Amino acid sequence: MWHNSYFLVPALLLFAAALYAAQAKRAAKRVPSPKGLPGRGLPLLDTAFLAGGPGRVFDTAFVRMHRDGRAVLNRAGLVTLTGTLAFDAVDQAVIEAAGPSRSGELGALRRAVMRSAAVQEIGDRLADRGLLRDPVRLRRARSARRLLWIALLDVVVFAVAAYLLDSDEPGYDRPALWAPLVMLGFGLFSLPASWPLKGRITPAGRRQLTLMNTGKPWKPADRPAPLHARDATLLGAVALGGLATAELADEQLREAMLASAAADQAARSAAHTGAGSSSSSSSGSSSSSCGTAGTWCGSSSDSGSSGSGCGGSSGCGSSSGGSSSSSCGSSSGSSCSSSSSCGGGGGGCGS
């Protein structure tokens, strides 16, 4: 005999799911190290990440290395580094991805650098100061909201089962169906409070981009000494608007880099649509096979433009430039995830 005790299980599930969804959303909105907007003073590669994600960081760094002669690209798309001078951690990631031979295919280098610890840490830094949303927390909030929907479905299933299975014999009470209706009302009321945040860029991040993108050429204040003012303007254009909008004099370089970004995007889209179930079964979760730090790579349903992921067909260990450091699991920050939110309002990561 069911009586009304059957309401206990769905009620507990629903309450727990609603509480978890609300907490997950609050965690996604949390800013660990809030700071004021720096106006037009955001560093070059931070600007590239904010405006376009990991792919934009590589594009900006590689154009910088090409402009000052540290990297050469031939017609076949093979990159050769002319030395080991690195101005920052991202330059060092390019050098490490090229390996001992100091050469590698452009697309492979791109994927390796996008997954590198140096690039991932830029995203973490921007998220900590409230300009980007942490994709791990965003995924957790979306998962919590799905659990809330499942809990609501459980309420309906329990109510229908109780009504159908309870005995009609005299002395047996029919279940009080107003109870599941109250629970459904509570769950539906909880849904708006758990509505997932959209896009990887926060309102503060969008205001920051507006301050920098005023229509006038933006020049980074942290440019290396060897670069001329015109190079700084070019790099600022690449960081803020991507290769498609920057006026690169070397057409071969532009075409090769755009083709590399497009190839990465096509592979990422194919993996996302055609191999979602297989990738989840092989990795166990979005980051179990590679660690949890590569949160800014991978596919994203919120991406606002092409190239938002870190390229490759999926995997954390795709070949990259002939160096072991190119694999995803090389460090705590060099992993990739299969479903991070890299895009959103403000452009794709690899454009």
Do 82 and 166 lie in one domain? The reply is no
Do 54 and 121 lie in one domain? The reply is yes
**In a domain? residue 39:** no
**In a domain? residue 341:** no
The pLDDT of residue 310 is 62
The pLDDT of residue 70 is 92
Do 158 and 117 lie in one domain? The reply is no
Q: What is the DSSP letter of 339?
A: B
**In a domain? residue 66:** yes
Do 17 and 156 lie in one domain? The reply is yes
- The tens-digit pLDDT sequence of the chain (351 residues) is 445 566 777 888 888 888 888 878 877 777 777 877 877 778 999 999 999 999 999 999 999 999 888 999 998 889 999 988 888 999 999 999 999 999 999 999 999 999 999 999 999 999 888 898 888 788 888 888 888 888 888 888 877 777 776 655 555 566 677 777 888 888 887 787 777 677 788 888 999 999 888 888 888 877 666 666 678 888 989 999 988 888 888 888 888 888 888 887 887 777 666 544 444 444 333 333 333 345 677 433 333 333 345 654 333 333 333 433 333 333 333 333 333 333 333 333 333
Do 124 and 242 lie in one domain? The reply is yes
Indicate the number of domains in the chain. Answer: 2
Q: Which residues contact 189 (CB under 8 A, 6 or more apart)?
A: none
- For the entire predicted model, the pTM comes to 0.70
Do 123 and 238 lie in one domain? The reply is yes
Nearest to 133 by CA among 292, 343, 338: 343
**In a domain? residue 202:** no
Q: What is the DSSP letter of 102?
A: T
The range of the structural domain enclosing residue 76 comes to: 44-133+226-330
Do 125 and 231 lie in one domain? The reply is yes
Do 84 and 180 lie in one domain? The reply is no
The Cα–Cα gap between 123 and 81 comes to 26
Do 79 and 99 lie in one domain? The reply is yes
**In a domain? residue 20:** yes
Helices (H), 78-168: 89-98, 106-115, 117-128, 135-165
Do 173 and 235 lie in one domain? The reply is no
**In a domain? residue 210:** no
Q: Which residues contact 59 (CB under 8 A, 6 or more apart)?
A: 48, 52, 238, 242, 243, 257, 261, 350
